[in-house]
Structure 1
Amino acid sequence: MAKKKSITASDLIGFYMDYVLMHNHKPKSVYAFAKDNNFEEQKFYEFFGSSDALEQSIFKVFFDNTVKALDKSGDYHSFDARNKLLSFYYTFFENLTANRSYVVHALHEHKNGMQSLKVLSHLKKSFANYIEQLGIKTIDLKQEQLDKIQNRGLKESAWFQLLVTIKFWLDDTSPSFEKTDIFIEKSVRASFDLIDVSPLKSIVDFGKFLFKEKMHMN
């Protein structure tokens, strides 16, 4: 059978996800992966330097698809930072849900230590840039170095919040993952209230929700 001549990065990602789900493990080598999908090995290296690089790009694709969908929405561009982030979360988790079998396989063994997970490294960089572009209002410390530290802390805390939400979604067994939607709404609202030094009502409400869910899971 003739080898496939026209191969795109999207094709390779699709082949890779299918391979992992069908075999329940990563390809043993790029050569074996290429042979299994009937294309020349060199075609792979036109897009990715290794299987790890391809794997890391998958979660960035989920991010990119989310941003593209939001950009097409006229309403999104009129939202404030809080509602833009809420829209991002809902759309991003729709993308994860559409690929849940792969995401669970990729993250399940590491769900208690995702902070340092290499497979999410490209996603982390893209998400940090997204948070920076949201223009979230913080306290004006009137000192450049302190402002840089505050902005770095904002991006790290936003990343941690995303990881915690992914962990909650991985464990969520509710219909249509409706509890994850509640988690998103309450956690994003609470985080913005904390930044704005606003009344703690929403933070307490979020704490009660977490306590209730923890008791239920135990």
Structure 2
Amino acid sequence: MVGRSSRFESTAQGDQRPSALVRRYGSLYAQARVDTLDALDAIPQLRDADELKSKLLFSVVVLGFRSVQNTVSDMKAQVRRALQIPAQLNSDPRVIELDASVDDYLRANPDACDVSRNVEEVCAQIWATLYDYPCLKGCAGLTRYVCDCVRLAWALSIHGFVLEFETRAFRRELHVRFHTSDHRSERIRTYLWPALLQAPRGPCVHKGVVIT
């Protein structure tokens, strides 16, 4: 697999290699999501709220990506401010090279950034949205899932991966149908899991799971 910088991934990167991260993204759906659903099922108020639970676990992934992407953008903006680079020079080749250097540093040091604030941000958004379910705050399985999603979102984002969940028509190169889907319909009713793209408008490296 070729990364965004067009260099082949190095085996020295271990579990931070892009191909390993994509596999972890698949495992997040296949295993961590299932484990978290089990933890939520143990909460009496949520036992029969299947749609809410599915939307919650989907939202955690989306919110996690959004939070860490904002953090990376803020880091780059802080570097530009420290160097007193005016906004009108953002498209200057030297500024683009500077941003690329920040990306290279983050990829080389994936654990250098503390993502605990991102975890707190995602949790706060969930608690605020689902204020009718204060029981969620005490669900250790959900908190663990948020942490796993945010950490993986960070690792994927610094390699340039993005989520795709805006397409409303089923596309075989982007989606797989959940077993409850109407296979005669091409209209996507619900996303259970976002597709993962190698880059914005890039190839799909892990298909999203949808209900048509």
TM-score normalised to structure 2 length? 0.31
Higher helix share: 1
Structure number with larger C-alpha Rg: 1
Question: Relative contact order: is structure 1 or structure 2 higher (C-alpha 8 Å, sep ≥ 6)?
Answer: 2
Higher strand share: 2
